[in-house]
Amino acid sequence: MALVTSKAMFEKAYKGGYAIGAFNVNNMEIIQGITEAAMENRAPLILQVSKGARAYAKHVYLMKLIEAAIIDAEQSAGFDLPVCVHLDHGDSFELCKSCIDGGFTSVMIDGSSKSFEDNIALTRQVVEYAHDHGVVVEGELGTLAGVEDEVNVSAEDSSYTRPDEVEEFVSRTGVDSLAIAIGTSHGAYKFTADQCTRNEKGLLVPPPLRFDILDEISRRLPGFPIVLHGSSSVPQEFVRIINENGGKMPDAVGIPEEQLRKAAEGAVCKINIDSDLRLAMTACVRQYFAEHPDHFDPRQYLKPARIAIKDMVAHKLINVLGCNGQA
């Protein structure tokens, strides 16, 4: 099967009350771990590439690795793995055009830091080019806190999406999906300790997402696919392993899984996950070296890291996104 857009995936997900996982990819082991989990669980998949990932691994390597994963699924399981390849946080028309020309089936143009009118103008320009080439577009309204393409957006500079802007934005731009800000943020430190309470074990409990804003946006855009960025859960088991094996990530905290599951059951059709992949890989490699200080063969430590990613993704497909068995 060739690469697909997310259009049919989102239509089915919206009606079915589940979401598609959009996982950031940077290298072969990450792509293999994610696609093996999707293949075994019959899940549709979005693999997304940031500007930084493209600079690190090069466009052609990532495309060929993704193509290889689809061929492997067909050969080893006789399964047509539906994969959409998406540009994450495109920041210019030129970057989006380059990804469209290079075979991506979906792009995000992130004009969320611009004025409403400038965001509309840039997004409209990308939509026109993308739709002429059979590619779908995600836009964004509202600003998430956290690290985005190496730029740190402080909590003070973040802002929730304004529901009264969404209809005009969608109709004037022609976007196919809309990323919104309802309290998620990028990275492994989504909230400061001050913004959280602590449970009986001393672990941070973050404030709830603004489901009132999500509900109002869904009411204004019935049937329209909504996207959540910054949706890693930051599993505390990974944080513990990292901290016990030479790492230093005190008070790392993510979005509780039950809140993401609730979002996936409603209008949210795409949930973005990057930090949890990084944590799975880092925890595994740190533990491996602590237990095998004399080893130096990358296959020895990258293999368990790939398995850790696969297991974590499988858990999300089944227990958070609910998209297992939908491909």
Q: Which of residues 249-278 bind ligand G3H (CB under 6 A)?
A: 274
Tell me: does residue 274 bind ligand 13P (CB under 6 A).
yes
List the x/- string, 203-242, binding to ligand G3H by CB under 6 A: ----------------------------------------
User: Stretches 38-46, 114-122, 162-170, 222-230: which one binds Zn ion (CB under 5 A)?
Assistant: 222-230
Q: How many residues interact with ligand G3H (rule CB under 6 A)?
A: 10
Taking the complex as a whole, the smallest distance from the CB of residue 277 to ligand G3H amounts, in Å, to 9
Applying CB under 6 A, among 13, 31, 38, 53 the residue interacting with ligand G3H is 53
Angstrom distance (rounded) from CA 63 to CA 57? 10
Q: Which does 53 bind (CB under 5 to 8 A by kind): ligand 13P, ligand G3H, Zn ion, none?
A: ligand G3H
Tell me: does residue 50 bind ligand G3H (CB under 6 A).
yes
Angstrom distance (rounded) from CA 87 to CA 129? 15
* Active-site option among 72, 80, 88, 251: 88
Angstrom distance (rounded) from CA 133 to CA 44? 22
φ and ψ of 102, to 5 deg: -90, 10
Q: Which of residues 84-123 bind ligand G3H (CB under 6 A)?
A: 88-89
Cα–Cα distances in angstroms (integers) from residue 163 to residues 132, 168, 178, 262, 319, in the given order: 29, 10, 12, 19, 29
Angstrom distance (rounded) from CA 29 to CA 37? 12
Q: Which does 177 bind (CB under 5 to 8 A by kind): Zn ion, ligand 13P, ligand G3H, none?
A: none
Cα–Cα distances in angstroms (integers) from residue 74 to residues 4, 36, 40, 56, 245, in the given order: 15, 11, 12, 28, 39
User: Stretches 50-58, 79-87, 215-223, 300-308: which one binds ligand G3H (CB under 6 A)?
Assistant: 50-58
Strands 151-153 and 146-148: antiparallel
The helix/strand/coil state of 169 is: helix
Taking the complex as a whole, the smallest distance from the CB of residue 250 to ligand 13P amounts, in Å, to 18
What's the DSSP call for residue 156? G
Tell me: does residue 310 bind ligand 13P (CB under 6 A).
no
Tell me: does residue 61 bind ligand G3H (CB under 6 A).
no
Known catalytic membership, residue 88: yes
Contacts of residue 19, defined as CB under 8 A and 6 or more positions apart, other chains included, come to 13, 263, 264, 268, 269, 270, 271, 321, 322, 323
Tell me: does residue 59 bind ligand G3H (CB under 6 A).
no
Tell me: does residue 52 bind ligand G3H (CB under 6 A).
yes
> Which residue in this structure is represented by tokens 């990057």?
274
Q: Which helix (H) or strand (E) holds 137?
A: strand 136-141
Q: Which does 149 bind (CB under 5 to 8 A by kind): ligand G3H, Zn ion, ligand 13P, none?
A: ligand G3H
Give the chain's length.
327
Taking the complex as a whole, the smallest distance from the CB of residue 19 to ligand 13P amounts, in Å, to 13
CA gyration radius, the chain: 19
Q: How many residues interact with ligand 13P (rule CB under 6 A)?
A: 14
Tell me: does residue 229 bind Zn ion (CB under 5 A).
yes
List the x/- string, 242-261, binding to Zn ion by CB under 5 A: --------------------
Q: DSSP letters of 186-225?
A: SSSB-S-GGG-EE-TTS-EEPPPP-HHHHHHHHHHSTT--
- Sites of contact with Zn ion (CB under 5 A): 229
- Sites of contact with ligand 13P (CB under 6 A): 24, 88-89, 186-187, 229-232, 272-276
Query: Mind telling me the catalytic residues?
Result: 88
- Sites of contact with ligand G3H (CB under 6 A): 24, 50, 52-53, 88-89, 148-149, 186, 274
